[in-house]
Amino acid sequence: MSGAGAPSITVDGTGLRVVVVAASWHTEVMDGLLAGARRALAEAHVTDVRELRVPGSFELPVAAARAAAAGADAVVALGVVIRGGTPHFEYVCSAATDGLSQVALTTGVPVGFGLLTCDDEQQALDRAGLPGSSEDKGAEAAEAAVATVVALRGL
């Protein structure tokens, strides 16, 4: 999957409460994802932003579920999983991905998916929104979460 074809999203999230849940593995990449999410939320005029750090991406779904239960209008989930030499990668990725989509569907609270699942660190750095990165997945996840709240309110 490539970033080609990504939409340009401009959205007004004034008055929304957004919780960013973020894993802690791979510090440099996580710092880039977090900075991108913060920047995108500020550009969308979201001022009620809380950040909740968890150890690893496996813990993201429970944090997202708690954030939704606590009244978040949207959750932005950020994490980085890098493939190693064992099947652990697949288990962490699928637990995090399935868990986050389950949270969105069962609570109705949009969850922006900012989980990078990469073969190596360079792939993650390329997507981290850092100087020299070609993509900014933290910002994209934040924009998607806010845009989905606004879209659903139009029903």
Binding mask 4-43 for ligand DLZ (x = CB under 6 A): -------------------x-x------------------
Q: What is the largest CA-CA distance in the chain?
A: 46
Contact 77, 60 (CB under 8 A): yes
Residue with tokens 């070609």: 134
Smaller CB separation from ligand DLZ, 57 or 97:
57
In this structure, how many other beta carbons lie within 10 angstroms of the beta carbon of residue 141? 24
Interface stretch with ligand DLZ, choices 12-20, 82-90, 127-135, 140-148 (CB under 6 A): 82-90
Packing angle, helices 60-69 and 88-107, rounded to 10: 10
Among 57, 68, 127, 147, binds ligand DLZ (CB under 6 A): 57
Instruction: Note the residues at the interface with ligand DLZ (CB under 6 A).
Output: 23, 25, 55-59, 79-82, 84, 88, 92
The catalytic residue positions are 88
